[in-house]
Amino acid sequence: GAVVSQHPSWVICKSGTSVKIECRSLDFQATTMFWYRQFPKQSLMLMATSNEGSKATYEQGVEKDKFLINHASLTLSTLTVTSAHPEDSSFYICSAGTGNIEQFFGPGTRLTVL
Amino acid sequence: GQNIDQPTEMTATEGAIVQINCTYQTSGFNGLFWYQQHAGEAPTFLSYNVLDGLEEKGRFSSFLSRSKGYSYLLLKELQMKDSASYLCAVLDSNYQLIWGAGTKLIIKP
């Protein structure tokens, strides 16, 4: 149980385009979803926290107009990287929580912006 | 500020025992997690400690001392597949996870 999927697992796009990443909790309802970014050899950096049906809470330094987060249902959250640039290339990981302590992580999406 | 410290890299031999330390200074404490992360993959849950003491789970054990702001992850009977990064993360008073930078563990035959 407690499986989280992400799609796509990897994506290559041209600079200036937008990329949407989906995060789904497959066998449970996630009241909260978290979006992280991880650069090589660095730890996870929380970008934003989203609760179903409400606006996401962004961490300091994360542009909410660039990283659009939608949490329309208890099993789906999406992160859209708008007007992507090479510096946005990173490993994006979502996790889902049920209100308990533990977060369940998706397999991650590797984004490469050319 | 909030801070999690753990060694950047450790090397150990297959079959041996290794201890990965983590010290933390956070605003509040609601538990400490250890995660394993293989290169290019998402973290996988190993352990959660909220009370002082040792929690044993197979080859892996995790220890917590809240008064010292200290935890360790103990890996026994090391296998080559244990080569990975091990992340220490603390749940602060706002129930937000504060992550360490991770310890890259290299296992040699």
pLDDT at B1 over 80: no
A66-100 pLDDT per residue, tens? 999 998 888 999 999 999 999 999 999 999 988 76
Is A46 in the B-facing interface, judged by CB distances under 8 Å? yes
pLDDT at A5 over 90: yes
Measured CA distances, A84 to A33, A70, A111, B2, B16 (Å) = 22, 18, 10, 30, 45
Residue A52: the pLDDT is 81
What are the φ/ψ torsions at residue A34 (nearest 5 degrees)?
-120, 140
Residues of B within 8 A of A43 (CB-CB) are 87, 99-102
Nearest-Cα distance to chain A for B79, in Å, is 22
| 3-state class (DSSP) for residue B36 | strand
Q: Which of B42, B45, B101 sits opposite A43 (nearest CB)?
A: B101
